[in-house]
Structure 1
Amino acid sequence: MREPSTEQLIALQTSCDACFGTPAVWPVVARAYREPQRHYHTLVHIGELLTSLAPFRTDPLWPAIELAVWGHDAVYATHLPDYAENEARSAAWLVHLVSEQCPAAWRHAHAAHVSLATNVILATKQHRVPESLANDPRLRRVAQLFLDADLAILAAPAQRLIEYDRDIAREWAQDPDAPAEAFRDGRYRALLGLRAHAPLFHSNEFAALEPLAHANLDVLIRRYALPRE
């Protein structure tokens, strides 16, 4: 499991405390993202998302974006059928966490942000802006920015892309160099699904990543397609 540096951990904890208005949340978050089956969906991923989204901290709805960052992979099962419920359970996890750990005044001030964050988390299942948010430009932008940042790993440099793909295999208890046929098939189909998104990135700020992400997806698709040729 990848772990941030000590300096990065301090920064993450500081951000978490500020986001939720209490230091009580950080231990719960850290425990969730340090589960032993995780290799990509860890605190390192949270840090990368916060860095990618840092330019948008002045957005009026930034609290909702940051809440979605902390909650979107809080529940991450890597076996079927529970895998299909990760997004719904992560959204419910965030609501429960806020209810149990955040001060009443914070909950009152951020009720709308929590609601928006849960809708964004649910949208990560298909990585498409849901109709419930699409008609309001402010809400649509929140969803677009978060979903785009979550997929930005697909436009990573070659070495980081390889690390990401190998970590996904490890999360499914696979040898990255010799994954089982069932995993290869599932990964192949998932990558094809992403490649079919048109566009892959929805915001102007992330649109420039599209060509590299497509090229990277093609590389990964060819890797998992090899046995079929």
Structure 2
Amino acid sequence: MTDQQPLPLDESSLTTLKASWHADLQVLAPEAPEQLRSAEVDLLLVRWSEPHRRYHDVQHLAEVLAAIDELAQAGEVDPVGARLARVAAWFHDAVYDARAEAGSNEHRSATMARDHLNTLGVTQGNVDVVEALVLMTLDHDADGGASLLASRRHTVAALHDADLWILNAPAERYAEYARQVRAEYAHVPDDLFAQGRSAILSDFAQREQLYRTAHACTQWQDAARTNLAAELAALRG
């Protein structure tokens, strides 16, 4: 196992990420000064670039945002829902510590989203939706969550599937992802890691429908099941 840090995104990719943030926030918080929006995205990128991260880093953020855009282009979520899903993606792992108690990262990230979006002047209804979307990523229960998401099921499905895009990644990227997750949990002994990781992956593998959007089900699901089966077999020796 290697503890090598993932390579940072190049300047072009970072510029693309920042442009996406500004485009969404110009709509959600039109009265926020550009300087405030810029300071926020810079802060978020610092969070996502923390040295202890191996998988939950800027690369993961970029992949989630790209997946949301793919789902939007496929007609799975409307422009409003895609915008809210992207903003939720920016915050969903803004707080990340592999040693934290279960649920702590998601709850702290959701609180950060609420506080910071309020400061930016995003309307309360949209803040509530983003906060609930971030909390959904705790257990990826796309059918549960806050009642306010009942009218936003396409938005929930888009973020749910985008966050799990990695499961269908090409074999080389999936293998890299598995190594990155192991590196984040380097403090956990091999046997305990294999037990815990197997439990998480088995839950996904046993779901009748791994993804929630039609596009992800038809385009991503078979590869995801293949990747899950291969990693589970390796974990079980």
**Band the TM-score falls in, shorter-chain normalisation:** 0.7 to 0.9
CA deviations 1:120-146 (Å, max 9, x no partner) are: 11111221212545984x411110111
Is contact 2:65–2:89 with CA below 8 Å preserved after alignment?
yes
Q: Return the alpha-carbon distance in structure 1 between the equivalents of residues 93 and 184 of structure 2.
A: 13
1:47 is matched with which residue?
A: 62
2:112 is matched with which residue?
A: 93
Root-mean-square deviation (CA, aligned residues, Å) is 2.1
- The percent of aligned pairs where both chains have the same amino acid is 25
The yes-or-no answer on 1:12 pairing with 2:27 is no
The yes-or-no answer on 1:195 pairing with 2:205 is yes
Return the letter of the residue paired with 1:79.
Answer: R
- Aligned pair count? 215
Is contact 2:129–2:148 with CA below 8 Å preserved after alignment?
no
Q: Return the alpha-carbon distance in structure 2 between the equivalents of residues 41 and 120 of structure 1.
A: 17
Is contact 1:65–1:117 with CA below 8 Å preserved after alignment?
yes
The structure 1 segments of at least 4 consecutive aligned residues displaced by more than 3 Å after TM superposition are 131-136
Q: CA deviation at 1:172?
A: 1.2
Return the letter of the residue paired with 2:12.
Answer: E
Q: Return the alpha-carbon distance in structure 2 between the equivalents of residues 4 and 114 of structure 1.
A: 28
Q: Equivalent residues in 2 for 1:71-82 (5 A)? A: 71-81=91-101
Return the letter of the residue paired with 1:59.
Answer: P
TM-score under structure 2 length normalisation:
0.83
Query: Which sections of structure 1, spanning at least 5 residues, go unmatched?
Result: none
Is contact 2:69–2:82 with CA below 8 Å preserved after alignment?
no
TM-score under structure 1 length normalisation:
0.86
2:89 is matched with which residue?
A: 69
Query: Which sections of structure 2, spanning at least 5 residues, go unmatched?
Result: 27-36
1:217 is matched with which residue?
A: 228
CA deviations 1:86-119 (Å, max 9, x no partner) are: 111111111122234x1x3xx23xx322211211
The higher relative CO (CA closer than 8 Å, separation ≥ 6) is in 2
